[in-house]
Amino acid sequence: MYADLIDFDTTGKVSADIFHSEETYRRELSTVFARSWLFLAHESQLRAPGDFVTALMGEDPVIVSRQRDGGIRAVLNVCRHRGMRVCRQDSGNTKRFTCSFHGWTYDTAGELVKVPRETEGYHDRLDKKGWSLTPVTRVESYRGMVFGTWDPDAPALIDYLETARPALDSFIDTLGSDIELAGPMKWRIRGNWKMPAEGLGTDGYHAETTHASALQAIGGMAEPSRIFQYSSAAGHAAAMTDLGVTQRMHEKAGVGPSPHGTNDTVTVAHATVFPNFSFIGYSGPLRVWQPRGPEEMEVWGWVAVPAGLDAETRRQKLRGVTVSFSSSGVFECDDSENWSEIAAVGRGFVARSTPLNYQMGMGFDDPAGTDLPGFDVRTGHLFNDIGARGFYTRWAELMDGPELALTPSAPPPGA
Ligand code: FES
Ligand code: FE
């Protein structure tokens, strides 16, 4: 039982093995990633029919595209002939995807529309309708954010996001509602995907140590006593504060003030939508921590910017964010080093068997700590592992639940 590897009732311990085990990782793909809603794209990337981006759902590659009827559809980016990746670009506009192995060609809805040598090879008996690209079971949007899930029984996206919406809404509203994404920038690092997912949800504690030099350069941390940790039974986690605190922090860092909201507007500092979609409020970095093995991940990073910015303002904004959060960003490099070192040292037999401490704040959760709305467990203190405890509780529930049953909406072989 994966629930036995965490204990938040008495000891506050988590097994280190969950960050290193190949077996655990394989099960995450068929439970956590197969059953959750996963961030795929933003609608601003898919404005015209034929616009597409490629994305990942766990380790499964998908193509997300705007259809002629205005809908958004996602299909597995794996050719039905020999399993080649069909689309090898990050984004573009097209009517057709042609596989570069033998030339099978699919339309943007995933229908197989052309097969080279169909007459000579298949004697015109190939049922092309039976060999479409496998569709992602459900694709839904929330305020321009496009998510997909393989699980036909998942709740509606809006319900799945229920306890993440205060954070997500704040992220979008602070940027001025109408946003578009720049990126993605992609890079690989050593480390288990859960570390940054947990961290962006809950770990304000690391900042004063990990980012000591950077914080010294910008004059110290914002008022920690006014930042509140949130946790959710759905696994989402966030740190929320008011815009005044966030604004003073970012002004110190050289990112200009936000025109959106007044000082007491509730603002997300950082958050994770379970399982692997994170963002940092006000300045606009978005992350998907793509799993690439128990000890490796691919980081996909975008920056959300207000739509319609003039080129110079946009360039300055992107530069400001890139200096702090990107593959070479000051803060991000500090963070990545921790995650990579944990992966490296945790391979040891004794290290993997030594439990880790998630006790911070246990027993001191304060439901009345703040009036900030939306999360079903809350605490009035930044220095608390409550978000991580919620994250791993949900994680264990999914891990101990059934794997996604593959009764493919894709047609059976030979159909
Ligand atoms: Fe795609 Fe053969 S693998 S056409
Ligand atoms: Fe950090």
Weakest-pLDDT range from 122-126, 182-186, 216-220, 265-269: 216-220
Report CA(294)–ligand 1 centroid distance (Å). 30
Asked if 211 is an active-site residue, the reply is yes
Report residue 21 as tokens: 């085990």
Report CA(330)–ligand 2 centroid distance (Å). 9
- What's the rounded Cα separation, in Å, for the pair 232 and 238? 9
Asked if 334 is an active-site residue, the reply is no
Question: Who has greater pLDDT, 369 or 391?
Answer: 391
Q: What is the mean pLDDT of residues 308-330?
A: 90
Where helices occur in 135-271 by DSSP H, the ranges are 157-160, 165-174, 194-202, 207-210, 212-218, 243-252
| 113-136: pLDDT as tens digits | 999 999 999 999 999 999 999 999
352 lines ligand 1 (CB under 6 A): no
Q: Are strands 138-142 and 60-66 parallel, antiparallel or unpaired?
A: unpaired
**Which value does ipTM take for this structure?**
0.98
Dihedral (Cα; 245, 246, 248, 252), 10-degree rounding: 140
Backbone angles phi, psi at 265, to 5 degrees: -60, 130
Q: What is the mean pLDDT of residues 374-388?
A: 77
Does the pLDDT of residue 307 top 80, yes or no? yes
Which atom, in ligand 1's list, is nearest to the CA of 102? Answer: 4
pTM score, two decimals?
Answer: 0.94
**SS3 state of residue 229:** strand
Q: Which of 153, 159, 206, 400 is catalytic?
A: 206
Q: What is the mean pLDDT of residues 99-110?
A: 98
Which atom, in ligand 1's list, is nearest to the CA of 84? Answer: 3
| 286-301: pLDDT as tens digits | 999 999 999 999 999 9
Which one of the ligands is nearest to 115 CA? 1
| 30-50: pLDDT as tens digits | 999 999 999 999 999 999 999
According to DSSP, the residues that pair with 271 across neighbouring strands are: 238, 279
Q: What is the mean pLDDT of residues 387-402?
A: 96
Do 272 and 278 form a contact (C-beta atoms < 8 A)? yes
- What's the rounded Cα separation, in Å, for the pair 384 and 142? 29
Q: Which of 42, 60, 173, 211 is catalytic?
A: 211
**Residue bearing tokens 């809603």:** 37
88 lines ligand 1 (CB under 6 A): no
79 lines ligand 1 (CB under 6 A): yes
Where helices occur in 185-295 by DSSP H, the ranges are 194-202, 207-210, 212-218, 243-252
Asked if 206 is an active-site residue, the reply is yes
Which one of the ligands is nearest to 79 CA? 1
Report residue 379 as tokens: 């605490």
What are the structural domain ranges in the chain?
2-32+162-400, 38-140
Does the pLDDT of residue 413 top 60, yes or no? no
pLDDT score of 256: 60
- Helix or strand holding residue 317 (H, E): helix 311-324
Report CA(389)–ligand 2 centroid distance (Å). 19
Give the rounded percent of residues in the chain with a pLDDT score beyond 70.
90
Between the alpha carbon of residue 370 and those of residues 193, 230, 245, 358, 365, the distances in Å are: 30, 10, 15, 23, 11
Q: Please name the residue whose Cα sits nearest to atom 3 of ligand 1.
A: 82
pLDDT score of 415: 43
Does the pLDDT of residue 335 top 70, yes or no? yes
Q: If you classify domain 38-140 with CATH, what class do you get? A: mainly beta
Most confident of 31-45, 156-170, 303-317, 399-413: 31-45
Question: Who has greater pLDDT, 319 or 376?
Answer: 319
- Helix or strand holding residue 393 (H, E): helix 386-400
Q: Please name the residue whose Cα sits nearest to atom 2 of ligand 1.
A: 102
- What's the rounded Cα separation, in Å, for the pair 166 and 143? 13
pLDDT score of 347: 87
According to DSSP, the residues that pair with 222 across neighbouring strands are: none
Asked if 20 is an active-site residue, the reply is no
According to DSSP, the residues that pair with 96 across neighbouring strands are: 107
275 preceded by cis ω (within 30°)? Answer: yes
Asked if 169 is an active-site residue, the reply is no
Name the CATH superfamily housing domain 2-32+162-400.
Answer: Naphthalene 1,2-dioxygenase Alpha Subunit; Chain A, domain 1 (3.90.380.10)
Q: Which residues surround ligand 2, an ion (CB under 5 A)?
A: 335
- What's the rounded Cα separation, in Å, for the pair 234 and 231? 9
Weakest-pLDDT range from 154-168, 185-199, 260-274, 384-398: 260-274
